[in-house]
């Protein structure tokens, strides 16, 4: 199982709304992530920079960032677009991060 990490950016003042929406994540989206082999998925927030740091364990060749062609992910992106930095297609601006250290 590989670990995948990336960062995104939340609009100022939207932390509580972001947490609320994720606490009510749609069951169809959660199932899609599980079916894609995504486990142990966490998102952290840096209050100073408004950066969201995401890390997930993935079995297989792709992570959550590769599911953008599915209807449910496109609907989620549109739902989240008002509180995050996004591209014109509503996909979050997401920057992959390279792992430079890991300790079990």
Residue position matching structure tokens 């100073």: 48
Classify residue 79: in a domain, yes or no. yes
Evaluate whether residue 16 is within a structural domain. Answer: yes
Per-residue pLDDT of the chain (104 residues; tens, 9 = 90+): 899 999 999 999 999 999 999 999 999 999 999 999 999 999 999 999 999 999 999 997 766 767 889 999 999 999 999 999 999 999 999 999 999 999 98
Residue 16: which CATH number? 3.30.70.100
Q: Which two tokens stand for residue 50?
A: 């408004």
Domain that includes residue 63, residue range = 2-96
Catalytic annotation, pick one of 22, 87, 90, 102: 22
**Count of structural domains, the chain:** 1
DSSP character string of the chain: -EEEEEEEEBPTT-HHHHHHHHHT--HHHHHHHHHTTEEEEEEEEETTTTEEEEEEEESSS--GGG-TTSHHHHHHHHHHTTTB-B-TTS-B--EEE-------
- Establish if 65 belongs to a structural domain: yes
52 falls within a domain: yes
In a domain, 104, yes or no: no
**What pTM, to 2 d.p., does this model score?**
0.89
22 catalytic residue (yes or no): yes
Q: Identify whether 67 is part of a domain.
A: yes
Assigned domain for 68 exists? yes
């Amino acid at each position: 199982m590989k670990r995948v990490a990336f960062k995104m950016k939340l609009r100022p003042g939207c932390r509580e709304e972001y947490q609320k929406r994720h606490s009510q994540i749609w069951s169809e989206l959660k199932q899609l992530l599980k079916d894609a082999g995504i486990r142990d998925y966490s998102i952290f927030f840096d209050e100073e920079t408004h950066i969201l740091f995401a890390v997930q364990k993935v079995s297989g060749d792709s992570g959550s960032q590769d599911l953008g062609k599915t209807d449910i992910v496109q609907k989620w992106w549109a739902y989240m677009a008002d509180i995050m930095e996004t591209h014109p297609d509503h996909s979050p601006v997401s920057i992959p991060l390279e792992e430079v250290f890991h300790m079990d």
